[in-house]
Chain A
Amino acid sequence: MAEITVERLVKRYGETLAVDDLSFTVDAGRVTGFLGPNGSGKSTTMRALLGLVRPTSGSALIMGRPFHELSNPVKSVGAALDAHDVHPGRSGRGHLRTIAAAAGLPSSRVDEVLDMVELTPARDRRVKGYSMGMRQRLALGAALLGDPKILMLDEPANGLDPQGMRWLRDILVALAGEGRAVLISSHVLSEVEQTVDSVVVIGAGRLVMQGPLADLVKGDRRPILVRSPRADELRELLEDDGASVASDGRPDAMVAHGTSLERIGTLAADNGIPIFELTHERATLEDRFLELTGESGNVR
């Protein structure tokens, strides 16, 4: 049985359809990226899973049950919905203690978690003085208090610097490696692509795709940047091969469309042309999302 099962979930706020007939599952032992543009229904779906909002129809289940039927919710699910959800006048430790107390956990667990998220030196400082990265760590710490089987984090990489991103990636991969189901949402593919094993992509409240990350990348039509000292030769070869190639402004670089990294690499190797750089140009999830759905104007 999947750890998280969302089945035909519909959530309507008045006239607004936030989630529209959404179904997906999340398994244990992997990090699943919950991807979609801003306002696509990711947070609403998470809130439905956590019993904070009621589905209009369909179901959002944790270990096969609605959240309110879980016998020990804290040990089942740890959630971090927004790094700003903390009283700024409370210390980091004080914040975690209020949650631990409500969950019936000893304050020694608070200190363990503060260690895990590397906030021990700042534990007695008031949260109003925390950086965004520290707040994200604190939110993750709160989610980890009950040592839960499922972790649900809404935009955990938001506002993190590169060091923070690497730290988050390492800890999430490690937590999934311990057999937990980890669901993290993001609207920026590049933020999570090195962390997630599989993805659930939604747009306008509907499922766009679910599967391994490789499936999302498969058929990727992002432009490809190629640099070669024999750029003109390579350009001719690529154009003969059916790709469209545009200049990059630099004499040794070009941007190719309608081909793949593998195809360009093979063509270059077959013709003995050295390659200095061969990479997809970075794209936001919105670009990929629009590509996947073929829609351009209805991202809410």
Chain B
Amino acid sequence: MNALKSEWLKLVSVRTTWALLGSMILIEGLTAGLVTDLSKVSDLRHRDIATLAIGTHLAIVFMFTLGALLSTNEFRHGTANSTFVVTPKRERVIAAKLVVGLAVGIVGALLYIAVNAGLGLSILSSRGVPVDSNEAVNTYIGVGVGLVLGCLFGVALGALLRNQILTVVIGMVLFLLAGTAALFIGNSVGKYFPGESLLALNGTPGAAKTLLTQTNGGLVLAAYCVVVGILGTLLTRQREIT
């Protein structure tokens, strides 16, 4: 519990946390508002509930980075020294970071859903575009789970790599570039990348032709978190803090 409280304090005592969450809300609000307001009604009807998942690839940038900072700040700013002197059982520190990552991931996901639903759904409704409520709930659950897992993946990859810039760059490549590039050149392995798993989680109808199913997308993304998290924890235990 001590490590958990300490990690929570580390998260909330720096402005970067609030700046990242605020930026995510702002960008998601702008994206959802502009797309639903400016698109042609025929396009919106055609896109169906995909509109509700619009901006997940922007939101993931912030949520992944937030998770990555939880781990990498320790090494970027040298606080790993005092952290591991006060809590020599290092796996407790990583576990606490993952729990805090889960918590802030849930907060981020709820904020995303609140902004998207508050703005996007009301604009769609005012423009007479019908939205199936069951499908909407399904999409929001998928998007929410994706953002939470994205944040956890940031914590895990940060623990594994330690270097802040490297972690964020690799995360962005994995979420925004690698899978899309692989699919683009016709390699179906691309659908197993974190970015395409996130897209699959949105549950967009018809997307399963090229992507994994919604459930499998979630499982693959969760598997990344588990495997990288275990590797990161083992390495953190073994590593020398110099």
Q: Residues of A with Cβ closer than 8 Å to B?
A: 13, 44, 47, 50-54, 67-68, 70, 73-74, 77, 79, 81-82, 84-91, 94-95, 97-99, 101-104, 142
Bound complex: CA of A197 vs CA of B78, how far in Å?
A: 31
Residue in A closest to B74 when the chains form the complex, CB atoms: A87
Which chain A residues lie closer than 8 Å to B241 at the CB level?
47, 52-53
Give the interface segment out of B6-14, B114-122, B150-158, B187-195.
B6-14
Bound complex: CA of A86 vs CA of B240, how far in Å?
A: 19
Given known A-B contacts A53-B240, A85-B79, A87-B79, A94 and B85 have beta carbons under 8 A apart: no
Of A70, A81, A87, A104, the contact of B2 (CB 8 Å cutoff)? A104
| B87 nearest CB across to chain A (Å) | 5
Whether B83 is near chain A, meaning CB under 8 Å from some CB there, is yes
Which chain B residues lie closer than 8 Å to A54 at the CB level?
240
Which chain A residues lie closer than 8 Å to B73 at the CB level?
87
Which chain A residues lie closer than 8 Å to B88 at the CB level?
51, 67-68, 70, 73
B1-54 CB contacts (< 8 Å) to partner A: 2-3, 5-6, 9-10, 13-16
- Apart from A85-B78, A102-B2, A102-B5, list 14 A-B contacts with CB within 8 A: A51-B85, A52-B81, A54-B240, A68-B88, A82-B81, A85-B82, A86-B77, A87-B14, A87-B77, A98-B13, A99-B82, A102-B6, A102-B87, A103-B86
Whether B242 is near chain A, meaning CB under 8 Å from some CB there, is yes
Contact (Cβ within 8 A) B77 A88:
yes
Which chain B residues lie closer than 8 Å to A90 at the CB level?
10, 13-14
Bound complex: CA of A27 vs CA of B47, how far in Å?
A: 75
Of A79, A84, A98, A101, the contact of B78 (CB 8 Å cutoff)? A84
Which chain A residues lie closer than 8 Å to B5 at the CB level?
101-102
Which chain B residues lie closer than 8 Å to A53 at the CB level?
240-242
B53-87 CB contacts (< 8 Å) to partner A: 73, 77-79, 81-87
Which chain A residues lie closer than 8 Å to B78 at the CB level?
82, 84-86
Contact (Cβ within 8 A) A91 B6:
no
Give the number of A-B contacts (CB < 8 Å): 86
Residue in A closest to B17 when the chains form the complex, CB atoms: A89
Q: Residues of B with Cβ closer than 8 Å to A?
A: 2-3, 5-6, 9-10, 13-16, 73, 77-79, 81-89, 240-242
Bound complex: CA of A53 vs CA of B87, how far in Å?
A: 15
Of listed A68, A70, A87, residue having the most chain B CB within 10 A: A87
Bound complex: CA of A86 vs CA of B78, how far in Å?
A: 6
| B181 nearest CB across to chain A (Å) | 35
Of B77, B85, B87, the contact of A79 (CB 8 Å cutoff)? B85
Which chain A residues lie closer than 8 Å to B15 at the CB level?
89
| B13 nearest CB across to chain A (Å) | 4
Contact (Cβ within 8 A) B14 A73:
no
Of the A-B pairs whose beta carbons lie under 8 Å apart in the complex, a sample of 15, sorted by A's number, is A47-B241, A51-B88, A52-B84, A53-B240, A77-B85, A79-B82, A85-B78, A87-B14, A89-B14, A89-B15, A91-B13, A94-B13, A98-B10, A98-B13, A102-B83
| A229 nearest CB across to chain B (Å) | 55
| A53 nearest CB across to chain B (Å) | 4
Bound complex: CA of A91 vs CA of B6, how far in Å?
A: 15
Residue in B closest to A87 when the chains form the complex, CB atoms: B77
Which chain B residues lie closer than 8 Å to A81 at the CB level?
81
Which chain B residues lie closer than 8 Å to A101 at the CB level?
2, 5-6, 9
Bound complex: CA of A51 vs CA of B82, how far in Å?
A: 11
Of A13, A67, A86, the contact of B79 (CB 8 Å cutoff)? A86
Which chain B residues lie closer than 8 Å to A51 at the CB level?
84-85, 88
Bound complex: CA of A142 vs CA of B81, how far in Å?
A: 12
Contact (Cβ within 8 A) A85 B81:
yes
| A82 nearest CB across to chain B (Å) | 6
Contact (Cβ within 8 A) A47 B14:
no
Bound complex: CA of A98 vs CA of B5, how far in Å?
A: 8
| B96 nearest CB across to chain A (Å) | 9
Bound complex: CA of A82 vs CA of B85, how far in Å?
A: 13
Contact (Cβ within 8 A) B242 A47:
yes
| A182 nearest CB across to chain B (Å) | 17
Contact (Cβ within 8 A) A52 B85:
yes
| A139 nearest CB across to chain B (Å) | 9
Given known A-B contacts A51-B88, A79-B85, A84-B78, A97 and B242 have beta carbons under 8 A apart: no
Which chain B residues lie closer than 8 Å to A73 at the CB level?
85-86, 88
Bound complex: CA of A97 vs CA of B3, how far in Å?
A: 12
Which chain A residues lie closer than 8 Å to B2 at the CB level?
101-104
Contact (Cβ within 8 A) A85 B77:
yes
Which chain A residues lie closer than 8 Å to B6 at the CB level?
98-99, 101-102
Given known A-B contacts A99-B6, A101-B9, A50 and B85 have beta carbons under 8 A apart: yes
